[in-house]
Structures are given as structure tokens and as C-alpha cells.
Structure 1
Amino acid sequence: MINKKPLILVTNDDGINAPGIRALIEVMNTLGDVCVVAPDSPQSGMGHAITINDALYCNRINISKDEPQEEYSCSGTPVDCVKIAVNEILDRKPDLCVSGINHGSNSSINVIYSGTMSAAVEAGTTGIPSIGFSLLDYSLEANFEASKKIVKTIAEQTLKNGLPNGVVLNVNIPKLNSTEIKGIKVCRQANAYWQEKFDKRTNPLGRDYYWLSGEFVNQDKGQDTDEWALENGYVSIVPVQYDLTAHHAIKEINSWELQ
């Protein structure tokens, strides 16, 4: 009996040409057979959006001519990429889905806005062990060398051990070189939020428009959070569940006079 290599689906939200996904592909090619399905343009901040009112286009391309993976660019969102990969492109369920490496943080509250993590969550809902990887560097010239070793370690362990049902991993990597990274910590999501504001401007035609900005506010002083880990030189792993039920609130709400 021939043992097949693991089948690994690679996606992201920064677009198929982003340096982060190219680094991720390089690592995954050392672990299994790779199929890449990623947006044809940047889709950051799309969350779990899907395309329902427009046609989706998915084209096979060949960016890395010296590497063996299949690659497809998709006109849709990161979640669309996972859906079309699983339902139309692949002939079997992937053994692993990895999303990223994102250019910038997806720690704490950022996880709910993240296209990177939403792609991983979408794969997780179909029973595929899934990981979202992010590097705390927004630059297109970001150095992913230190990230590659971290990515390989976590992906290997996930392939070996699997993940609990209903759980995907949110991995954030500090902007440090390999000698400066102190280790990997499994954490909880910090209690933080964005203090948002809109910069109101007027275009040359006299029409008002708005530009979103804001300040990240971390209210959580715990030393078991992703924010603490990242600030102190550690890679953070937060196990994320896509069951959003607030189980602790069911008893209280059942006490309301609802009938």
C-alpha cells in the first residue's frame, strides 16, 4: 500500500502574489502535496465574507515555475477560495489548510475582521485541521525567514496530532529574527478593542467621504494572552472556536420573561 503525502491547501487574504504566501508555499512543499487557491487581489479585512451576487472566476496560473504546487487565482474572498478549492478543485479533502503568512497582526480582536483567519475557520468548519499564520510586519519587504521555522514546526505538529473538533489555530509571530524569538506560547485572546475614529474629508467635487483610523487599546494585563506573548518576544498560538454560542449566558437569558 502506497502512503500518500499529506494534501495541503494554502490560501491567504493579501493576494496570491504576496511575499507572505510565497514563503508559506515554500515551507508547505517540504511537508506534502500543495494546492494554492488564493485571491487575485488583496482582500484584507474581509472577515468571513462570501460572494453571492457576482460570478466567481478561478484561473490556474504558474507563478513559481520551479516549484511543484498547483496554483489558482480566485476573484473572490479568502472564504470563497476555500469553498471553491474544497468543492471544485481538489479531488479529496485536504489533510491541512494553512492561511497566510499575513502581513500584519491578527491577534486579539483582530481575529474577527481577518480574512486570513476566516479562510482557516471556513476550512475548519468542513473538518480540515487549519491554521492562520500572521507576522507582525505590514511591509511588503517583510523578512519571513524566522517565520518559516515556526510555521514548519506548528504545521508538522498539527499534521501529526490533529486538532480538537471545532478548533482552528491563530498563530501570530513577532517581528524579530530567529535568535530573538524566545519560544512559542499557547495563549488566550487578549481583551482588547479598537478605539475608532473617522477622518472626514471632502473630494474635489464637494462630496464628503470618510477614512477609517483608530488606536488599538489593550485592556488585558494578563500574562497568558496573545498580546503579552507578542510584546515579550514569543510566538502566540490561540486555539479559536467557531461555535460562537455564549454557553455561560444561556441560563441567565432563560430567566427572562420570554413567553
Structure 2
Amino acid sequence: MHILLSNDDGYLAEGLAALAAALRPYADISVVAPDRNRSAASNSLTLDLPLRAHVADNGFIKVDGTPTDCVHLAITGLLEPEPDMVIAGINHGANMGDDVLYSGTVAAATEGRFLGLPAVAISLVCNEEPKHFATAAEVAVVLLKRLLAKPLPQDTLLNVNVPDVPLEALKGYRATRLGQRHKSEPVIKQSDPRGRAIYWVGPPGAEQDAGPGTDFDAVSAGYVSVTPLQLDLTWYDRVNTIRTWLSEETSA
């Protein structure tokens, strides 16, 4: 088993190092990660500039691109042999609910799935600085063992969120759906040294749909949230509605 690891916090991130160390006894590990923090890069792919990959002092391969660039490059030409699975993380913070649309960690896993590999994104849910990377690393080991013993369908993409608590404090694992946040907080307006307006993107909105069955609910109760994601965004129940809408005559 050859596993590709990546992230969006950069090749020096503590979570990435913890993940690599935990998984090495169970698989051949290759790490290809951004050369700096690329959080919230989503699924962006660099098309107008060449990408450069270098082996860093810690043995990981760093790339001057996005998380998606890293995984794409690794699978389509950089690594030999090609990996059998992609695991992204351990992210320094939650990737629950609407977060998955922006997350570079989830995007790295998604790119692996786009390219035909089973993929897992794993995040440590914390309010401030994350502490218990060892807990999330052990969760990754548990899930890897289960995937090896009983593989899921090839198109599987799992989004995993782990409470930032000691391992013994975890209550278990729950299969969940994505919750939903309220609208993001307003942008923060400031001025640069020349008096010109600058803007910082505001923090994410508070939990809106965080009821039973959601990733928010599972994590808040002390459980690991495991959410299966699909890449087909088609809203199938609305296809016939749109077909009818398109065929109806409209008045001038």
C-alpha cells in the first residue's frame, strides 16, 4: 500500500508530520504538500505558471502551488509508483458543513478522488491552537486499518473531523451528514499605511443546521464525525423541474 499525504497548512505543519509518523508503520508514505499555508484554497489548480517541487529538509516534497496542485502533480507524474490512496491532513481546524466548499484539505482529497483513488480528509476541530494531533493521527490509523480490512467502494471520499481531546476522551465514531453554517460574518475593513481601504475576509458563520446526524453534533458530543462526500453536484430531484421550466412558453 502506497499512500500519498498532503494538506493545506503547508509542508512544515505539525498535523502533517503527526499523520506521516502514525501511518508509516502501515504503508509506504509519500508526502507532497504546499510550500506555505494555503488554507481555503479550495479546488484551485495552477494553469498559468509552472510548478516547482523540491525535497525539503524534513524529507517531504514541497510544491509552490495549491493543495490540488500537489495531489495532481504527485499522481500524474511526480511519484513512482503511483499511490493507491490519498489522505489529506491533519488540518489545523474544523472542516465541517459549508467549510468543505472552501477547504484546501478537502480539496486535496477530492483531487485524489477525481484521479481515481479512494481518499480521506481528516481535520482536528479546535477553537484556538490545536493540541491533540496524536488523537487525530490514531483516528487515521484506525480508519486505514478498517479500509484495508474492508474496502469501501472505489469512489469513496470521506471527510473526517476529530474533537481536539485526548484519545481516551473520544466517545467513538459516527457516520454523519454535513451540517450548515449561517452566512459568514461581515468583512473587516481597515486602512493601509497610505490611508487606502483594505479588507479582511470575516470569520465563518455560526452553526445553523447542527442537529442530530450532523458533523457539528457528533463532534460537539465528543465523537469522530465521518461524512461520505459525493462529487456529483447535480440536484437530481430538480432536473425534471428545470426541464419543465425550460419548455414552458414565456410571455413577453
Provide TM-score, normalisation by structure 2.
0.93
Q: How far apart are 1:221 and its partner, in Å?
A: 4.8
Mean Cα deviation higher: 18-27 or 195-204? 195-204
Moved more, 30-39 or 191-200: 191-200
Q: Output the CA distance in 1 between the equivalents of 2:131 and 2:11.
A: 16
Matches within 5 A, 1:107-256: 107-137=96-126, 142-256=131-245
Distance of 1:126 and 1:214 partners within structure 2: 32
Structure that is richer in strand per residue: 1
RMSD between superposed Cα atoms in Å: 1.7
Q: Partner letter of residue 14 of structure 2?
A: P
Residues 55 and 138 of structure 1: CA distance in aligned 2, closer, same or farther (over 3 Å): farther
Which of 19, 24, 41 is equivalent to 2:14? 19
- In 2, Cα distance between the equivalents of 1:37 and 1:166? 22
> Could you give the per-residue CA deviations for residues 29-76 of structure 1, whole angstroms, max 9, x where no partner exists?
011111110001000000001111122100123415xxxxxx311000
Identity of matched residues, %: 33
CA shift, 1:140, in A, is 5.6
Give SS of 2:245's match: coil
Unaligned runs of 5+ in 1: 1-5, 65-70
Q: CA deviation at 1:217?
A: 2.8
Name stretches of at least 5 consecutive residues in structure 2 with no aligned partner: none
Q: Classify 1:204/1:47 alpha carbon distance in 2 versus 1 (closer, same or farther; 3 Å).
A: same
- The amino acid of 1:190's aligned partner reads G
Alignment of 1:30-45 (within 5 A): 30-45=25-40
For these two proteins, the number of residue pairs brought into alignment is 248
* C-alpha distance in 1 between matches for 2:147 and 2:127: 26
Contact 1:169 1:240 (C-alpha < 8 Å) held by counterparts: yes
Which shifted more, 221-230 or 41-50? 221-230
After TM superposition, give the deviation of residue 254 of structure 1 in Å.
0.9
TM-score (norm 1): 0.90
Confirm or deny: 8 A CA contact 2:210 2:216 kept in the other structure.
no
**Greater share of helix:** 2
